Amino acid sequence: MKGAEVISKLSTILNGEELIVSSNGNVSRQVYHLLQGDQIYLRGSMGLPVSIGLGLALAQPNRTVLVITGDGNFLMGLSAMTTVAHVQPTNLKIIIIDNELYATTGGQDTVSSTIDYITMIQGMGIDTARSFNMSDDEILISEMLKDTILEPGLNVLHLKVEEDTIVLDNIPHHPTKIKDNFMSRFS
């Protein structure tokens, strides 16, 4: 299964009230085009989606906050996960879409292939981390996504995926418009 297909699957699981932070590059484009709602589509700030999600989860404790990040982005901001583990925000869910590539910049390797994500994330103090290797078992992937979003508590799901073959269009909004659209959800 490809990254964009995983993100598409989320559309049948989300209720539209979730607050989503997506990592810059292809992941944000996929979240913009494939999921509903005005979300926080990051354009730059590589490495920061987890920390932005943490701040958002603290400010909005009654809403589910979902961070969707690629592996290169996740690894750049890895230490933010230790802060997340320290805080244990129960409304924060993190999905790592891992294609082992810097796909947006042309498919250069990340170091992701050597990492045991479960051991690493559990070692930080997040017991609920799950990891799943690339597969086409659509029912199992849907169940894992559902559990990650709907089960109470801080949940982290690491998914190995195949490289996407289609690059979606750029997000048409200026970042200030992205921000204004997102914040108008609270008014």
Partner 1 sequence: MIMIDSADFLSYLSDNDFTFSTGVPCSYFRNLLLALEKDDRFTYLPATREDEAIGIATGYFLGGGRTFLIMQNSGLANIGDAITSLTQLYKIPLLIFVSYRGLEPDKDFPEHSIMGDVTKPVLDAYQIPYWVIKETNWKVVLDNALEVMEELSKPVCILVKKGVLSE
Instruction: Check residue 139 and report its DSSP letter.
Output: H
In terms of CB distance, is 1 or 28 closer to partner 1? Answer: 28
User: Comparing C-alpha atoms, which of 14, 19, 8, 4 is closest to residue 54?
Assistant: 19
Are the C-beta atoms of 19 and 65 separated by less than 8 Å?
Answer: yes
In terms of CB distance, is 49 or 141 closer to partner 1? Answer: 49
Interface with partner 1, residue 17, by CB under 8 A: no
Residue 160 three-state SS: strand
**Which of 31, 56, 66, 154: binder of partner 1 (CB under 8 A)?**
56
Are the C-beta atoms of 93 and 64 separated by less than 8 Å?
Answer: yes
Interface with partner 1, residue 25, by CB under 8 A: no
x-marked contacts with partner 1 along 68-87 as a string, rule CB under 8 A: ---------x-xx-xx---x
Interface with partner 1, residue 97, by CB under 8 A: no
User: Comparing C-alpha atoms, which of 121, 125, 53, 127 is closest to residue 92?
Assistant: 53
- Residues in touch with partner 1 (CB under 8 A): 19, 21, 40, 42-60, 77, 79-80, 82-83, 87, 175-176, 178-179, 182-183, 186
